[in-house]
Amino acid sequence: MAEAATQMKVSDEIAITITKMNKWYGSFHVLRDIDLVVNRGERIVICGPSGSGKSTLIRCINALEEHQQGSIEVDGTLLSSDLKNIDKIRSEVGMCFQHFNLFPHLTILENCTLAPIWVRKTPKKEAEETAMHFLEKVKIPDQANKYPGQLSGGQQQRVAIARSLCMRPRIMLFDEPTSALDPEMIKEVLDTMIELAEEGMTMLCVTHEMGFARQVANRVIFMDAGQIVEQNEPEAFFNNPQSPRTQLFLSQIL
Ligand code: ADP
Ligand code: MG
């Protein structure tokens, strides 16, 4: 399994650079001196205890949360309060959450074409063709005219992934995409993510699916109390964790 990950290419080109980034919620210092460079094609799994700042970090990368110190650069664009930069970064970064956040009153197809039509001004027919392409990719083209409530959780999450892909992102962020799913549906979502990884998508995934981390990640990052405590390639990370905090965490989840 580890071989699969090493065969996937990582380019020398840099996709994301985070330098000395700090964030506070009011007086609460939630992210501390985060330094992280992500190369194009990298697949990074972020793990750590609840409340350690994983979601906040992911959300800072596409400006769903504001950081107060340090810098975040995505594809050469500096994330600043300049709305143009924020728009540019968001157009390149797709995101999938634990709760799929599909629009319940729109069909699966409409969920997938909404942003391309209204944000990108893509002609409807073209947007629908693209949507069908990605619904085929996540293996549910036959559900295109149903509503989210008629689909299983695993299917809804795959729609959410397809919907993100319709915006042609260069980077995908995942925040615990399988943690709201029944066990039998986890695999179908992970399989979709594995396929994306194999196609070279740059991915940052917050997940506690350690089998996925071993198979797909080229780097695992452990966060605790707002810091990156440790990072390593999966084999070394799981077999030989250095920090006592990482050791404790792994002993609790493995
Ligand atoms: P994780 O994803 O690792 O569980 P989060 O990034 O969600 O952690 O949260 C990190 C810390 O920040 C937690 O203590 C959480 O309670 C706090 N927090 C998260 N969101 C907010 C917010 N909007 N306002 C204030 N505190 C928050
Ligand atoms: Mg979280």
Residue 207: CB within 6 Å of ligand 1?
no
**DSSP readout, 74-112?**
ETTEE-SS-HHHHHHHHHHEEEE-SS----TTS-HHHHH
pLDDT of 4 reads 56
Please give the pLDDT value at position 83: 87
Tens-binned pLDDT, residue by residue, of the chain (254 aa): 445 565 677 888 999 999 999 999 999 999 999 999 999 999 999 999 999 999 999 999 999 999 999 999 999 999 988 889 999 999 999 999 999 899 999 999 999 999 999 999 999 999 999 999 999 999 999 999 999 999 999 999 999 999 999 999 999 999 999 999 999 999 999 999 999 999 999 999 999 999 999 999 999 999 999 999 999 999 999 999 999 999 999 999 87
Ligand 2 centroid, distance to 206 Cα (angstroms): 8
Whether residue 31 has its Cβ less than 6 Å from ligand 1? no
- Please choose from 28, 30, 67 the residue to mutate so as to test ligand 1's pocket, defined by most ligand atoms within 8 A of CB: 30
Q: What is the pLDDT of residue 6?
A: 56
Give pTM, 2 decimals: 0.95
- The CB of 66 under 6 Å from ligand 1? The reply is no
- Among protein residues, the one with the nearest Cα to ligand 1's atom 1 is 51
Phi, psi of 130 (to 5 degrees): -60, -45
Give the model's pLDDT for residue 1. Answer: 47
Q: Which residues contact 138 (CB under 8 A, 6 or more apart)?
A: 158, 159, 161, 162, 192
Mutate to test the pocket of ligand 1, among 24, 27, 28 (most ligand atoms within 8 A of CB): 28
In short, whether 55's Cβ falls inside 6 Å of ligand 1 is yes
